[in-house]
Amino acid sequence: MSKKKIRVAIIGLGFGAEFIPIYKKHPNAELVAVCQRNEEKLNQLADAFEIPKRFTSYDELLQDPDIDAVHINTPIPNHGEQSIKALKAGKHVACTVPMATTVEECRQIVELTEKSGLTYMMMETVLYAREFLYMKELYDNGELGKVQFLKASHQQDMDGWPNYWPGLPPMHYATHCVGPVLGLTGDEAEYVSCFGSGTIREELIGHYNSPYAVETTHIKFRNSDLSAQVYRSLFDVARQYRESFEVYGSKKSVEWPLIEGNPLVVHTAKKPEAEIPEEVQSPDFAKLLPEEIQDFTTKGVYDEDENQHLSFTQGAGHGGSHPHLVHVFIDALAKGKSPYPNAKQSANITCVGILAHESAEKGGEIIKLPSFTLSS
């Protein structure tokens, strides 16, 4: 393993606080700064973890030459602007999902990385959840056979969430279901077609002028015979929280359970009919990580008597993905390689959702992904 240390700052200490202990223990990371508008909370966390630098101003943080990279965990509307500012300031960027809220912001981020040589990674949790890593291992080992179709969903009741959430178009926050269908085979989306279904409450519609209770998108893969289906709901749909991903192959298919916490279902071709399906508990993939952070795939980052972030009760800690995300980002910087998803791949994933909603507004019209999201 490289001995290079990457000096990191975490921006936003709500969800972002979940990553403090992971960066502190990663052998190639040095957590040198945190940034939070609430000075009391900022100092409390910085003191507890002996983080030397703390900022209430993001712009001031970006002027610090001792910071190599920022990990942005702020509200969705800030992601694009803050990533662009960081890249212009010469910082590598890891950013929670989605990459941005407009195609134009995605374009600027991609162009800045190409111009500067800096690294950008969208921290999509599902791409490193144990269930996805299990399916990826089956795919990489050829056990699925020929992949024929992929499907994913993300359903969640967002009533009561503050600020920008009320009435948000479902596909504007679609990376949790778009990411895995593209990530399994490493393909790119070429074009999308989306339909809205149902109607949310009148008081929610006005926030974004979006009426849809559910949005369902078909994604055509580029240079491939594959397509995928993803669907999203946020309001006025009775459904337990679920981020699901399914893959259908010629030898094996894997389906997400209908109820969170139940085993995956693996179907194996050509067995007797009663033996085709098998319930499988997804194995853990801590083996992919440095020993120092392996424990974080199966337990919370703080002691049991401390408050856990909602992600550890609603989403099972995002499937143990957090230490994988940190490691992929830090390892890429330490070794000078590209993480997955990099800026271009992140833009392809994010723009699928943005353009899918546009397609729904146009009655399902096919909309192509912009060229800056595609490999040459």
Q: Domains plus CATH for the chain?
A: 6-125+326-340 (3.40.50.720), 126-284+352-373 (3.30.360.10)
pLDDT at 368 over 70: yes
pLDDT band at 171 (very low <50, low <70, confident <90, very high): very high
**Residue from 87, 91, 81, 130 nearest 8 by CA:** 91
Contact yes or no for 112/83 (Cβ under 8 A) = no
Supply the pLDDT for residue 309. 43
Q: Is the peptide bond before 323 cis (omega within 30 degrees of 0)?
A: no
How much is the mean pLDDT over the chain? 94
Q: Minimum mean pLDDT among 39-48, 209-218, 239-248, 359-368: which range?
A: 39-48
User: CA-CA distances (angstroms) from residue 278 to 81, 131, 159, 171, 264?
Assistant: 46, 15, 36, 32, 8
Q: Could you tell me where the beta strands, DSSP code E, fall in the chain?
A: 6-11, 29-35, 53-55, 69-72, 92-95, 120-122, 147-155, 189-197, 214-221, 227-233, 242-249, 252-255, 264-268, 277-280, 367-368
Between CA 86 and CA 94 the distance in angstroms is 10
- Residue 376 burial (10 A CB sphere; 0-12, 13-18, 19+): exposed
Output phi, psi for 55, to 5 deg: -130, 140
Question: pLDDT for 287-346, tens place per residue?
Answer: 999 999 999 998 766 654 444 444 333 333 589 999 999 999 999 999 999 999 999 999
pTM of the model: 0.95
**Residue from 350, 299, 296 nearest 123 by CA:** 350
- What is the residue type of 353? G
